[in-house]
Amino acid sequence: STQEKTPQICVVGSGPAGFYTAQHLLKQHPQAHVDIYEKQPVPFGLVRFGVAPDHPEVKNVINTFTQTAHSGRCAFWGNVEVGRDVTVPELREAYHAVVLSYGAEDHRALEIPGEELPGVCSARAFVGWYNGLPENRELEPDLSYDTAVILGQGNVALDVARILLTPPEHLERTDITKAALGVLRQSRVKTVWLVGRRGPLQVAFTIKVPRPRKRLTELLLRTATEKPGPEEAARRASASRAWGLRFFRSPQQVLPSPDGRRAAGVRLAVTRLEGVGEATRAVPTGDMEDLPCGLVLSSVGYKSRPVDPSVPFDSKLGVIPNVEGRVMDVPGLYCSGWVKRGPTGVIATTMTDSFLTGQMLLQDLKAGLLPSGPRPGYAAIQALLSSRGVRPVSFSDWEKLDAEEVARGQGTGKPREKLVDPQEMLRLLGH
Ligand code: FAD
């Protein structure tokens, strides 16, 4: 059949999930054509807007994604927000199959009193700010207080603590935004606490070694209990900044300053663990502790949003209900990445997961489960977008923006100075 010959497939989202899904489809099917739609004018999702600026090696995956985008059977269409500029039913009409890989764009709320006070912000917004995510570029967190409390103990919490405590001169040659660097240079933050409900055996950090849990526990124990050598002891004594983990503490309230105008601390309930194995839970002991601070960053997780009323969504788990990437009850619709599994796991996890979704789609194609007959693909969507005044950004457009960013970084020894204003990006492209 025609669809067996030239399946037209579209992927929504250009983070690791979108690109790895596309890569698998293009590699495993010699004729498949894949269009990737992205709401930002620029590609790569959290590789650009999440991964910390001082971890440049993690961003090397961009080279692989770029190769995929250069395939003659792949196209990137940025500046197109699915659910707003084009609907999922319209995409399903135009393509043989649609893969939703749009990640997790929201943050989980703490759901405690005082959360709305100035001085409280989500780690997600803070990360977006220092990485130049357009919607967070004007965040300007107030770093004029000496203590910051991060609620949560996952990898994102660690990234945020590190950025707050790293001497700004060590960030000068990264792709952190100029504005963020300016604010960090003025920072008075000296102490950062990372607060977790559970204990050292349950923290959600990951490390890059086999048997990570055992190794992580050993590392934590050694750091906490071993007496440092003379050099290390001297270094610690002279350090102007410090951080610490506070275990078995569950946030109850953000405490207001005396005038009620901003956050001045966090009230924590002391917890202990009950139950064993997977069923272990942190329960309050009844004791309370107040931790004074001027900045509260909530880092209790990212969360996916529903994209379109026609797509099933599990709002409790914050994922699209699916079986191995096949969206439940909607033939021809698939999902991969954080919107499929929930917002956990590193890029490598997302890769494995996306390859699996690609495999399921190709199995269905082979079994004749996808619509037969030709589909128009981008031609149909382009007409819709143009009638709605939406001008997509192609991959070669992105490469112009990329070159501009690299050029702007050169003077100051940065790998790039990110463009943070979508209007400016579109202007540079003559849109
Ligand atoms: P995303 O990367 O979020 O990509 C989703 C894409 O979809 C985005 O580009 C978004 O703009 C787009 N999109 C959203 N809605 C729409 C829409 N309606 N229409 C069109 N497009 C849309 N992993 C590591 O291995 N190493 C690290 O150092 C590391 N650091 C991290 C730091 C942070 C702060 C975070 C949050 C994560 C980090 N990760 C790291 C994890 C890694 O980023 C994720 O595993 C991975 O990005 C998930 O991929 P994804 O494609 O599902 O989501």
pTM of the model: 0.94
Amino acid at 258: P
Closest atom of ligand 1 relative to the 13 alpha carbon: 7
- Cβ neighbors of 99 (< 8 A, separation 6 or more) are 9, 10, 11, 12, 18, 21, 325, 334, 335, 336, 357, 358, 361
Closest atom of ligand 1 relative to the 43 alpha carbon: 9
Ligand 1 centroid to 422 CA: how many Å? Answer: 19
Instruction: Please name the residue whose Cα sits nearest to atom 40 of ligand 1.
Output: 346
Distance CA(420)–CA(143), nearest Å, equals 21
Q: What is the pLDDT of residue 200?
A: 79
Q: Which residue has the tokens 């780690």?
A: 123
Q: Predicted confidence band at 4 (pLDDT cuts at 50, 70, 90)?
A: low
Ligand 1 centroid to 226 CA: how many Å? Answer: 37
Q: What is the pLDDT of residue 276?
A: 80
Ligand 1 centroid to 77 CA: how many Å? Answer: 17
Ligand 1 centroid to 61 CA: how many Å? Answer: 13
Summarised one tens digit per residue, pLDDT across range 133-152 is 999 999 989 999 999 999 99
Rounded percentage of the chain residues whose pLDDT exceeds 90: 83
- Assign residue 206 a region: left if phi > 0, alpha if psi is -120 to 50, beta otherwise? beta
Terminal-residue alpha carbon distance, the chain: 39
- CB-CB contact of 8 with 96 (8 Å): yes
Q: Is the CB of 338 under 6 A from ligand 1?
A: yes
What's the angle, vertex CA 264, arms to CA 262 and CA 265, rounded to 5? 135
Summarised one tens digit per residue, pLDDT across range 28-44 is 999 999 999 999 999 99
Q: Is the CB of 306 under 6 A from ligand 1?
A: no
Q: Is the CB of 46 under 6 A from ligand 1?
A: yes
Query: Tell me, what's the ipTM?
Result: 0.99
Q: Is the CB of 156 under 6 A from ligand 1?
A: yes
Query: Pairing relation of β-strands 322-323 and 326-327?
Result: antiparallel
- CB-CB contact of 246 with 268 (8 Å): yes
Closest atom of ligand 1 relative to the 156 alpha carbon: 34
Q: What is the average pLDDT score of the chain?
A: 94
Q: What is the pLDDT of residue 210?
A: 60
Ligand 1 centroid to 71 CA: how many Å? Answer: 22
- CB-CB contact of 215 with 207 (8 Å): yes
Summarised one tens digit per residue, pLDDT across range 311-355 is 999 999 999 999 999 999 999 999 999 999 999 999 999 999 999
Q: Is the CB of 342 under 6 A from ligand 1?
A: no
- Whether 366 has a pLDDT exceeding 90, the answer reads yes
Q: Which two tokens stand for residue 203?
A: 């923290």
Ligand 1 centroid to 67 CA: how many Å? Answer: 19
Q: Is the CB of 58 under 6 A from ligand 1?
A: yes
Query: Pairing relation of β-strands 120-122 and 106-107?
Result: unpaired
| Helix ranges (DSSP H) in 88-177 | 88-94, 123-130, 155-165
Summarised one tens digit per residue, pLDDT across range 176-226 is 999 999 999 999 999 999 999 888 777 766 676 766 777 777 877 787 788
Instruction: Please name the residue whose Cα sits nearest to atom 53 of ligand 1.
Output: 103
